[in-house]
Amino acid sequence: MDRTSIIKVITLMVTAFGIGIDFTGALMLVPAIENSFDADITSSQWVLNIYALFFAMTMVAGGRLGDMYGHRRVMIIGLTIFLFSSVLCFVAPGLDYLIGARALQGIGAGCVWPCTLAFGATKVSKPEHRALVMGLILAGVTTGNVFGPMISGAAVNFGDWRLFFLANVVFSCISMATAVLLMERETQHKQGEHIDFAGMGILSFAVLLLLYGLDVGADWGWTSVPLLLLFFVSAVLFILFPRVEKRVKEPLLLPQLMQNREFLITLGLNMFNVSAAFVGLLYFPQYMQKVLGWSVLQSALGLAPLTVLLAVGSIVSGTLYNDFGPKRLLFWGYLCATVGAASIVVMPAGLGYFQILPGMALIGLGATLTVGPSGTAAVCAVKPERAGLVGGLSFMTHLVYGAISVAGATAVMYVTSLSSLRKQLEAAGISMSEADQKVLNGGTLATDSAQAILRHLNPAEVEKVKAAISTAFDSGMNMAFAFATLSVAVGIVLALMLDEQKLHKVEG
């Protein structure tokens, strides 16, 4: 690449780095947020899910706005929103306020990310460098994924998890400065474009209802009428979505792409690769903190086999894409991720960190070989002027399914761990109300609610309860990864079905 292209790529990597820090760093804060706001895991998971959902649903609009008005301009607007919402996260007085601020962060990131991808895909000097540039941008994100947990760990060690969002403000300012100073203004844009707000609204509401149903299912009862009605409305909206898409002028799902079997398979490959990685990013740190008793900073270092592989692998997969093609990379990546998720389920309890280490490494390797190639395959399959739209669409499916996976896995985990806790307390001869069991099962023992329950027990009973909670969490985590294993395994089948030659003729 020439000097100008290298400067552009570095600028895009800086922006991607800031986005990557926010995602994994916030995940490490979940136990600290539970303690601060006296919340449980089914509520605190929204810190991840609401961000992923709004990030996903904004990306297609962000990509199309970039195509229409310039990727540089929309990127700077998105960074401004991201910076403002980071300040709101820093001053959040309660969990609901924090979740709202995270939703706004998702909107900002949803404007930044597809424009970053599109700028990299269309502004390099030679088309054959496109896969490498995409890999470098993803390396910027995943390098941020590595440093994010360390920054959040340091924030907690300094005594306040809110300091992490102050760091977000700093990196947002750096990203804005590099974008303004180093990225060239675009003079030609697509004309006559329209944004499918109807499709975005229906799909967003359908996913939001589904996630909320999975969140409250354990409290309402999985067969309760209100919950079934919630799932029914969500299903109706999902069914209504493609009908609406046929009527709008510029749908999210372009007909010429959606009628192509290979492109749909590629979108599926963008979806299922995220399940094990998202579940791992949520539960591995909690396992290290709640079961092994590690600090947030120790947990961040313990997560390195997953995050470092993601960072290094993005560059490697970008260089391998042209040599091996997406089919082989995706097949072996999905196979590694499936074996890794399954290993968490079958590894015997009591091994400590080594119970999760092999699975963590394999999931990281699997994500390395699937995330970049699946996104690159989708973007490279269309004309350059569609790069922003398709980049947003591919990562939209990626994040929406990631949020659904986390919600589904958390629902399975919560039910399993609660059942295990109940059986162990009965075996230990400790009588406890169902409400108290839910409090202990859902959060950490440092919350005010948990401490109030433990004060009614003698020291011997407290130790038995702590052991029971640790075992229950381990059982629940295993079932969460059983869910993830089945999900990721679908990708193996899709990778075998992919026909590369037909894929690259979508808009040839």
Max mean pLDDT range (109-123, 294-308, 396-410, 420-434) = 420-434
- Is residue 105 over pLDDT 90? yes
Label residue 499 left, alpha or beta by phi (over 0 means left) and psi (-120 to 50 means alpha).
beta
Q: What pLDDT does residue 72 have?
A: 84
- Is residue 226 over pLDDT 50? yes
Element housing 340 (H / E):
helix 304-346
Element housing 153 (H / E):
helix 130-157
Q: Give dist(CA 321, CA 318) in Å, integer.
A: 5
The mean per-residue pLDDT over the stretch 151-168 comes to 88
Q: What pLDDT does residue 190 have?
A: 62
Least confident of 4-8, 112-116, 361-365: 4-8
Q: What pLDDT does residue 30 have?
A: 81
The mean per-residue pLDDT over the stretch 217-232 comes to 87
Amino acid at 424: Q
Q: Give dist(CA 438, CA 40) in Å, integer.
A: 9
Q: What is the mean pLDDT of the chain?
A: 83
> pLDDT tens digit string along 167-208?
889 888 988 888 888 777 766 666 666 777 888 888 888 888
Which pLDDT band holds residue 130 (cuts at 50, 70, 90)? low
User: How many other CB atoms are there within 10 angstroms of residue 287's CB atom?
Assistant: 23
Which letter does DSSP use for residue 10 in this model?
Answer: H
DSSP SS3 for 369: helix
Amino acid at 74: V
Q: What pLDDT does residue 391 have?
A: 65
Q: Which residues contact 476 (CB under 8 A, 6 or more apart)?
A: 412, 413, 414, 415, 416, 417, 418, 420
Q: What pLDDT does residue 508 have?
A: 45
- Is residue 66 over pLDDT 50? yes
Beta strands in 103-225 (DSSP E): none
User: How many other CB atoms are there within 10 angstroms of residue 412's CB atom?
Assistant: 19
Q: Can you give the C-alpha Rg of the chain in angstroms? A: 22
The mean per-residue pLDDT over the stretch 17-21 comes to 85
> pLDDT tens digit string along 250-288?
777 766 667 777 778 888 888 898 889 889 988 898 899
Give 187's Cβ-side CA count (13 Å radius): 0
Token pair of 239 as six digits = 């069914």
Report domain extents, the chain: 3-183+252-417+473-503, 197-251
Torsion, Cα of 307, 308, 311, 316 (10° steps): -130
Which pLDDT band holds residue 131 (cuts at 50, 70, 90)? low
Q: Give dist(CA 137, CA 1) in Å, integer.
A: 15
> pLDDT tens digit string along 457-468?
888 888 998 889
Q: Tokens 């709008």 identify what position?
A: 248
Q: At what angle do helices 95-122 and 387-427 cross, to 10 degrees?
A: 140
Q: What pLDDT does residue 383 have?
A: 65
- Is residue 141 over pLDDT 60? yes
Closest CA to 387 of 179, 114, 192: 114
Q: What pLDDT does residue 98 have?
A: 93
> pLDDT tens digit string along 398-457?
878 888 888 899 889 989 999 999 999 998 888 888 888 888 887 677 778 888 888 888
> Per the CATH hierarchy, to which homologous superfamily does domain 3-183+252-417+473-503 belong?
MFS general substrate transporter like domains (1.20.1250.20)
